[in-house]
Amino acid sequence: MTTKTADAVSLTSATKRFGPVRAVDGLTLAIPRGQTVALLGPNGAGKSTTIALLLGLLPPDSGRAALFGLDPEEAVRQGLVGAMPQEGGLIPRVTVRELLTFVSGTYAAPLPLDRVLTLARIGDLRDRRVDRLSGGQAQRVRFAMAVCGDPDLIVLDEPTAALDVEARREFWDGMRGLASQGKTILFSTHYLDEADEHADRVVVLGHGRVIADGTSAEIKRAAALTTVSVTADGESAWLSTLPGVRHMEIRGGRVHLRSGDSDATVMALARAGAVRELEVVPADLEDAFVALTAKENA
C-alpha cells in the first residue's frame, strides 16, 4: 500500500481495554481522502479512545491503526496530521502569536500566520496571553493549532463543546472552507444536528463498536428517528402497520409511533382520519442511540 492511494484513516479490528472496560472493541473503520466524517455517540461510547488510537497517542491492545498507510506516529511526524484533543494543549506565559508561530514552525509547509488567524477568527487576539483567554477564545486557538501546519487530515475531538450557538456557526463556516480544499476531516460530537449538517458520513459508536455507518439520512432511517404521536380513539393496534412505523407504544391515551419515514406515516394517518392532536417530534441522539443499540442487540 502506498501513501498516495491509502485511506486517510484506517483502523483494523482495533481494541483497547482499560482494566475490565473495553473502550474500543474490535473497531474497523476506513476513511477515504477528502471525506468529512462525524464520529457520533454518547459519552463513554469510545469516541476519544478511538481518536487516541488512530493518532497513535495510545497503542491498541490488538488490531492496527494507520494514517495514509503509515504508522500514525510516522504520519504525524511527516506533518500530514493536525489534531485538537478534547481538552488542554494551551500553556501559560505565551501569546497566541508565539504559540502558533512555534506550532507552525514544526511543520514543513505551514499556512501563513495571518491566514491561520483569519481561519480561526483570532486576529484580534494575536498578542493576548494564552492563559488569559475565555473558554470560547481558547477553543479557537486550539483549533488554530490543529490547522496551522496545513495538514491533509484534521482530527477534532468535540470541537464545539465550549462554544455558544453563534461561535458554533462561525466554526462550521471555517470548517466548510477546509473541506472544500479537499482536506480529510474527522470530528467527534454528541450533537446529532452537527453530524447531520456538516458531515458527508456519520459513524455511530456505541460501547466501542461501530453500530451504524452511512450518510445522516441513512442513519436517521436506520434509527427510526422520528416519533409521531396521536391521541388514540378505541382500538389502535392497526396503527403499528402504517408505512414507516417501526415501533408503537401507548401511554396515557396517546399512541407514540417511532417512524423511519415520518412523512409516509403522517400521510397514512391523515387518510385514515386519525390525526387528533397530531405531534411530530424528531428524536434526539439519545433516542437514536437506544434504537440503534436495541437493533444491534436483537
294 touches other proteins (CB under 8 A): no
66 touches other proteins (CB under 8 A): no
206 touches other proteins (CB under 8 A): no
Strands of the chain (E only): list them.
Answer: 9-18, 21-31, 36-40, 62-67, 81-84, 153-157, 184-189, 201-206, 209-214, 226-231, 245-251, 254-259, 279-282
81 touches other proteins (CB under 8 A): yes
DSSP state of 123: G
Residue 158 to residues 161, 178, 289, Cα–Cα distance (Å): 6, 17, 18
20 touches other proteins (CB under 8 A): no
90 touches other proteins (CB under 8 A): yes
Q: Is 271 left (phi over 0), alpha (psi -120 to 50) or beta?
A: alpha
The residue (of 91 and 281) whose beta carbon lies closer to other proteins is: 91
222 touches other proteins (CB under 8 A): no
The residue (of 96 and 266) whose beta carbon lies closer to other proteins is: 96
101 touches other proteins (CB under 8 A): yes
99 touches other proteins (CB under 8 A): yes
- Cβ burial of 8 (10 Å; 0-12, 13-18, 19+) is buried
Considering only 19, 20, 43, 92, the residue that binds other proteins (CB under 8 A) is: 92
DSSP state of 177: H
Q: Is 47 helix (H, G, I), strand (E, B) or coil?
A: helix
The residue (of 88 and 273) whose beta carbon lies closer to other proteins is: 88
The one-letter amino acid at 12: T
The residue (of 74 and 170) whose beta carbon lies closer to other proteins is: 74
d(CA 55, CA 32) in angstroms, rounded, equals 16
Q: Is 34 left (phi over 0), alpha (psi -120 to 50) or beta?
A: left
Q: How many residues bind other proteins (CB under 8 A)?
A: 30
**Dihedral (CA of 189, 193, 194, 200) sign:** positive
Considering only 87, 170, 200, 213, the residue that binds other proteins (CB under 8 A) is: 87
The dihedrals phi and psi of 173, each to the nearest 5 degrees, come to -60, -45
13 touches other proteins (CB under 8 A): no
Residue 172 · residue 38 · CB < 8 Å:
no
- Segment contacting other proteins by CB under 8 A, of 20-28, 33-41, 106-114, 289-297: 106-114
The residue (of 51 and 125) whose beta carbon lies closer to other proteins is: 51
The residue (of 105 and 135) whose beta carbon lies closer to other proteins is: 105
55 touches other proteins (CB under 8 A): yes
57 touches other proteins (CB under 8 A): yes
Considering only 42, 85, 174, 243, the residue that binds other proteins (CB under 8 A) is: 85
The residue (of 149 and 206) whose beta carbon lies closer to other proteins is: 149
By CB under 8 A, what part of segment 110-149 binds other proteins?
A: 145, 149
77 touches other proteins (CB under 8 A): yes
- 105-184-210-260 Cα dihedral, nearest 10 degrees: 140
Q: Which residues bind other proteins (CB under 8 A)?
A: 55-57, 76-79, 81-83, 85, 87-94, 98-99, 101-103, 105-108, 145, 149
